[in-house]
Amino acid sequence: MKVIFIQYGMGVDLHGQDITTASIRAVRDAIHRNSMPGLRGMIPSGDLRDMIVRVKLGVPMDSPQVDTERVRAEFPYGHVEIQVVPGGLATTSGVMLTEQGDRNDLAYIVVAAVEVGFEEGV
């Protein structure tokens, strides 16, 4: 893959201990303030559906619970590959709010690296 763009983000779920929510927020943080107007011209086919998006999520715990299909839905185009690896941070939020779905006082912090590119020679 020829990588033409890499962006990083962080997402937090303060209450409810939902690792997917934190993952989606990390991806949004990485991509929602970016514009790549020349991307279509760089992809050999000119079709944004042919771009490749590689997402690496560093999660502190509950990695089997990451709903990768919900994370994938954040990307409107391309072939999206998601890899979940150990990382991020679980730390106290300072309060446990059962009315917010808390099981404990942990906040989950997920970091995301998003690579965008295309296959050369395709």
C-alpha pair distances (Å), 97 with each of 25, 105, 107, 110 = 21, 8, 12, 21
Domain at 22, CATH number? 3.30.1330.20
- The first and second tokens of residue 13, run together, are 């779920």
Report the number of distinct structural domains present in the chain. Answer: 1
Each residue's pLDDT expressed in tens, for the chain with a length of 122 residues: 999 999 999 999 999 999 999 999 999 999 998 888 888 999 999 999 999 999 999 999 999 999 999 999 999 999 999 999 999 999 999 999 999 999 999 999 999 999 999 998 76
Looking at residue 49, what is its pLDDT?
93
Model-level pTM? 0.93
Question: For residue 15, what are the contacts with CB-CB under 8 A and spacing of at least 6?
Answer: 93, 97, 100, 101, 102, 107
**Inter-residue contact 13 to 77 (CB < 8 Å):** no
Range of the domain at 107: 2-118
Looking at residue 122, what is its pLDDT?
60
Looking at residue 3, what is its pLDDT?
95
